[in-house]
Structure 1
Amino acid sequence: MSASRIVLSAGGTDSSVAGSASDGVDAGSAAPGLGASPEAKRKIANRLRRAHGQLAAVIEAVEGEAHCRDVVQQLSAVSKAIDRAGFLVISTALQECISDPDAEGATKPEELEKLFLSLA
């Protein structure tokens, strides 16, 4: 399989989101689609930054011995934020696949389906 590596640039540093060897996704080559849309990159990076902040709050809550109910609620918020970022990545790839299905290195529909199901 090809292309499932996405590099997001946020604040001068690059963060990589790539499939693991066990998920059947090849992380060796860069996905061309996401880099073509600065707006999509911005939205995804913003969602991930929000999740990062929420996760920091969860860690503080655990270290501060917060009530388990509060910790679970915060964990739920982090999980949803990360899921939404993943769905946005797949949605962007689907839009690009539909608009130019024959583009070199384009993610195939079967790959997109696998990626989508990995988030479910």
Structure 2
Amino acid sequence: MDGRTQVGRAFRPNVALSSVGGGWATLLASQWPDVSAVVAYYGVADADDAAIAKIGAPVLLVCGTQDDTAEDVVAFEAALKAQRKAVQTIWNGEGHNFADPSNPRYSLRAADAAYREVRTFLQRALHD
């Protein structure tokens, strides 16, 4: 998969990354106006108003309440909402990297629940 979705004759890139990649996903969304959807697991870029103003894609943030990035996610979500951007956040009681089976803090229950919501979000965002 090359990370792009064909829309008519044009291609639109998709972004879905995790951990430090969550920060990259949200940063790229502000720099790449053709992004179709953003899914950021466990982290976000800085909640910079000018960068957030450039985000045109719907954003899904996935984070555990015990994650050390939770405060950053709250701030980023608030900044998106303040600018009336499309944002949804999945919260659970887990810590960082809860969806990675190689992580000792892996939670199958939380990972499965997040995965189902991510699939629904992407189906809506990429097919509407």
TMscore range, shorter length: 0.3 to 0.5
Larger radius of gyration: 1
Structure number with the higher helix fraction is 1
Structure number with the higher strand fraction is 2
TM-score (norm 2): 0.32
